[in-house]
Amino acid sequence: MKALAISAVLLAAGLFAAPAQAKLKVFACEPEWASLVHELAGDKVDVDSATTALQDVHVVEAKPSLIAKVRAANLVVCTGAELEVGWLPMLVRQSGNASVAPGTPGSFMAAPQVKMLEKPSAVDRANGDVHPDGNPHVQLDPRRVLVIAKALDARLVQLDPTNAAVYQQRLGDFTNRWLTAMSRWKTEAAPLRGRKVVVHHISWVYLWDWLGIEQIGALEPKPSVPPTSAHLSSLIATTKSSNTLAIIRAAYQDPKPADWLAGRTGVPAVTLPYTVGGDAQSKDLFGLFDSTLSKLLAAAKSGAAK
């Protein structure tokens, strides 16, 4: 009975106390998009990331706290391309928030804004956790990040026209700083071009596409199937013989398989931040690429010194 009374009161409060037009509330599925929203909107919006760099975004749970956040959001910024298929649709449905439903202006998906790689010709779960639209991990190519920034900025302008000038000005500023950084990164990354890597999960294809690095193997026998010792053993010969730069894993992944292969091949295992917050240096998108490049270059240097 008491619960009833409370419910009635809250019901009334929710219906009649229409809140004054507050700041745009943005729900970002991943830290990289929260960081991008921050670059484009500054303090004009409240942005919250659903996950951290230490979580595997393929398998996040539709936690109550996330439902409450989606409920309050005016804009949802996620990767899309089925990366969040196991939780985002449930959050949106349970939140009852029609303004962020798929296909509405309040739902912004990053991956469909850019040309995607590794679109499978056949979709079969026997091949592991494949994404029919292509590899969704687009945040590791700064060129694609800029494309997404432009589209996202247009969406912010559409949803919050009163601050349009701010969003446009900040996009211009971000674009300039980003292009400058990109040209610096390009120069720095020159020694990496043409090198070969082994990865834990195939989440790096856009980084390799940008840097001109070749991926020669993955520790997971199939995407999202945990590494097995038989599969790892089969990688030893290739990894050894190819003058491999490094074995790459993300901050959230189990370090053991990469360490195992590193111990047997002498190729260094390198933990890359993968997204904003993945290490101390990756405080924002600029830091993410600074850190990623410096770690890859350190691996190249240590390899050359041997």
Partner 1 sequence: MRKTLLGLAVLPLSLLSAMPMPALAAAPSQTEAQRIAALEAKVEALEAELQAMKSAAPTAVATQPAAAPVAQGQNASAEAEVDSLAASPAETEAASSAPASVAAPAGDSGGGSNANAFNPAISIILNGSYTHHSLDPDAYARSGFPLSGEGRPAPDGFSLGESELSFASNIDDKLYGQLTLTASSEDGQDHVGVEEAFIDTTSLPANFSLRAGRFYSDIGYLNGHHAHTDNFFDRPLPYQAFLGNQYGDDGVQVKWLAPTATFLEFGAEAFRGNNYPSGGAQNGGLGTRTLFVHTGGDVGGENAWLAGVSMLKTKAEGAEDGFSGDTTVYIADGTWKWAPQGNFKDGGITVRGEYFLDQRHGQFEYQDPDSAGPQLPLVVLWDGARRGAYLEGIYRLNRTWDVGYRYDRLWSDAGNPFAIVAGNFDPYRHTAELTWRNSEFSLVRLQLSHDKPNPDDSDNAVTVQYQTSLGAHGAHKF
* 85-144 residues near partner 1, rule: CB under 8 A: 85-90, 93-98, 101-105, 109, 112-116, 119-120, 123, 125, 128-129, 132-133, 141, 143-144
Among 127, 165, 173, 176, binds partner 1 (CB under 8 A): 176
Do the Cβ atoms of 256 and 226 come closer than 8 Å?
no
Residue in 62, 63, 61, 74 with CA at minimum distance from that of residue 28: 74
Site for partner 1 in 34-63 (CB under 8 A): 51-52, 54-56, 59-63
Tokens of 298: 């350190």
- How far is it, in rounded angstroms, from Cα 95 to Cα 101? 10
Site for partner 1 in 149-168 (CB under 8 A): 150-151
H helices present in 26-102, as ranges = 31-41, 64-72, 88-95
Q: Does 82 bind partner 1 (CB under 8 A)?
A: yes
Q: What does the DSSP 8-state code read for residue 217?
A: E
- How far is it, in rounded angstroms, from Cα 237 to Cα 2? 69
The β-bridge partners of 26 are 47, 75
Shortest separation between residue 183's beta carbon and partner 1, angstroms: 5
Site for partner 1 in 247-276 (CB under 8 A): 252, 254
- How far is it, in rounded angstroms, from Cα 180 to Cα 172? 12
The footprint of partner 1 on this chain (CB under 8 A) covers a number of residues equal to 83
Q: Does 301 bind partner 1 (CB under 8 A)?
A: no
Give whichever of 117 and 216 is closer to partner 1, judged by the CB atom. 117
Among 44, 186, 240, 283, binds partner 1 (CB under 8 A): 186
Site for partner 1 in 210-229 (CB under 8 A): 224-226
Shortest separation between residue 186's beta carbon and partner 1, angstroms: 7
The radius of gyration of the chain's CA atoms, rounded to the nearest angstrom, is 21
Only segment of 34-42, 147-155, 162-170, 272-280 that touches partner 1 (CB under 8 A): 147-155
- How far is it, in rounded angstroms, from Cα 268 to Cα 258? 9
